[in-house]
A = this chain, B = another copy of it.
Amino acid sequence: MHAFDVLGDPVRRRILALLADGPQSAGAVTDVVRAEFGISQPAVSQHLRVLRDNGFASVHASGTRRLYAVDAAPLQEVDVWLEQFRKFWNQHLDALATELARGRRRPPATHTADSAPTDPSTPHRTEQDTV
């Protein structure tokens, strides 16, 4: 299963977002997800398995609990894939920010995607992934 397929499911995205705040027991995750999506415990467990099997999460048994934690590798792959498109927003925002910020030195290089960190200060009405 490709990374993007794994991330295609809103439940799994939510689980990862939960785990982003630190490791959580399967039960804790299940409670939140059940409340928000109204699905069964096995359904959540199956999603956790998909995350495990595809390297998005690692598990650490602690008694009868399973502690899940984010494993970043596949997410980073996604980040890398996205690289080829960053120029599309860098092009615009850079042309703007860059030209303004610096004393306007020279026109920015052809389009070699110079690495400016993504600007999260523009929430874009990203609708918080509640989808």
Contacts of A7 in B (CB 8 A): 4, 7-8
Contacts of A73 in B (CB 8 A): 124
Q: Are B76 and A89 in contact (CB under 8 A)?
A: yes
Q: Which of B8, B118, B123 contacts A4 (CB 8 A)?
A: B8
Q: How far is the CB of A120 from chain B (nearest CB, A)?
A: 5
A35 contacts the other chain (CB 8 A): no
Contacts of A80 in B (CB 8 A): 118, 120, 123-124, 126
Bound complex: CA of A78 vs CA of B78, how far in Å? 9
Q: Which residue of chain B is the closest to A82 with respect to CB atoms?
A: B79
Bound complex: CA of A85 vs CA of B17, how far in Å? 8
Offer 24 A-B interface pairs, CB within 8 angstroms, sorted by A: A2-B131, A4-B4, A4-B7, A4-B8, A5-B8, A7-B7, A16-B85, A20-B85, A70-B88, A72-B89, A73-B124, A75-B82, A78-B82, A79-B79, A79-B82, A79-B89, A79-B118, A80-B124, A80-B126, A82-B82, A83-B118, A115-B118, A115-B120, A117-B118
4 closest pairs, A vs B, by CB?
A: A72-B88, A117-B117, A8-B8, A4-B7
